[in-house]
């Protein structure tokens, strides 16, 4: 009876039930990228070699969130070293995942270096930090950020997850 009354009340809108579902879905998709001061956020830090594909980046992020018992919807931003931020693999992955892409300056990464847990001598010699993925995730996640997942690696991409608070 209540369902019938609802149908009559919504007679002017024949697709009301689908519209409500669509609006709820849109609100969820849009709301997850609207950051509010003091809200927790999760950043996927990415290290990548020149020419890495966006599919490789997305695949590694998917593996990282699975290892951290999260989902892709939990990620709020992607971050990498500023000199790699224009790489097609990184920018296309961010567009594919509908996430903001953050370019982290080398100075900010070096400042966060003591918090990095993984150390690659090759990466440290090149960029001044032991892990670009961990340092970019921590730097982009803001003050008091903490690693949720240490760096994991594929052939040409690394990924780490950090949680912080939106400033």
Model confidence at 1, pLDDT cuts 50, 70, 90, reads very low
The CATH number of whichever domain residue 130 belongs to comes to 3.30.420.180
For the four alpha carbons of 80, 126, 121 and 129, in that order, the dihedral sign comes to negative
**DSSP E strands: which ranges in 20-145?**
40-48, 77-81, 101-104
Average pLDDT value for the chain: 81
Residue 75 pLDDT greater than 50, yes or no: yes
Residue 38: predicted pLDDT? 63
Residue 60: predicted pLDDT? 97
In the numeric block, the tokens 């994991």 are attached to 152
Q: Which residues contact 63 (CB under 8 A, 6 or more apart)?
A: 152, 159
Q: How many Å separate Cα 130 from the centre of its chain? A: 21
pLDDT tens for 4-63 read 444 444 444 444 444 444 344 334 444 444 555 567 899 999 999 999 999 999 999 999
Q: Which domain does 23 fall in, by range?
A: 2-31
Mean pLDDT, to the nearest integer, of 157-162?
Answer: 96
Are residues 155 and 118 part of one domain?
yes
Looking at the chain, the whole-number percentage of residues with pLDDT higher than 90 is 56
Closest C-alpha to 42, from 72, 12, 5: 72
The conformation of residue 5, written as its DSSP 8-state character, comes to H
Residue 10: predicted pLDDT? 44
Are residues 157 and 118 part of one domain?
yes
Residue 144: predicted pLDDT? 86
57 φ, ψ (degrees, to nearest 5): -65, -50
Are residues 44 and 20 part of one domain?
no
3-state SS class at 128: coil
Are residues 18 and 70 part of one domain?
no
Are residues 73 and 48 part of one domain?
yes
Mean pLDDT, to the nearest integer, of 105-125?
Answer: 79
Residue 122 pLDDT greater than 60, yes or no: yes
Are residues 153 and 128 part of one domain?
yes
Per the structure, how many domains does the chain have?
2
Residue 39: predicted pLDDT? 77
Give the Cα separation of 90 and 119 in Å (integer): 22
Are residues 44 and 27 part of one domain?
no
Residue 34: predicted pLDDT? 52
Are residues 53 and 11 part of one domain?
no
Q: How many Å separate Cα 106 from the centre of its chain? A: 19
Residue 102 pLDDT greater than 80, yes or no: yes
Tokens of 7: 């149908």
Residue 116: predicted pLDDT? 77
């Amino acid at each position: 009876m209540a369902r019938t009354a609802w149908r009559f009340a919504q007679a002017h809108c024949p697709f009301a039930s689908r519209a409500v579902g669509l609006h709820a879905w849109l609100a969820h998709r849009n709301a997850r990228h609207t950051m509010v001061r003091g809200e927790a956020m999760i950043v996927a830090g990415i290290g990548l070699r020149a020419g890495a594909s966006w599919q490789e980046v997305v695949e590694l992020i998917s593996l990282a969130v699975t290892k951290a018992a999260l989902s892709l919807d939990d990620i709020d931003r992607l971050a990498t070293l500023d000199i790699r931020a224009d790489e097609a693999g990184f920018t296309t992955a961010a567009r594919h995942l509908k996430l903001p892409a953050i370019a982290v300056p080398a100075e900010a990464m070096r400042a966060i270096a003591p918090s990095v847990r993984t150390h690659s001598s090759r990466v440290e010699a090149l960029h001044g930090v032991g892990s670009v993925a961990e340092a970019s995730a921590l730097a982009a996640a803001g003050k008091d950020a903490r690693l949720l997942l240490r760096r994991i690696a594929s052939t040409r991409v690394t990924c780490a997850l950090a949680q912080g608070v939106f400033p």
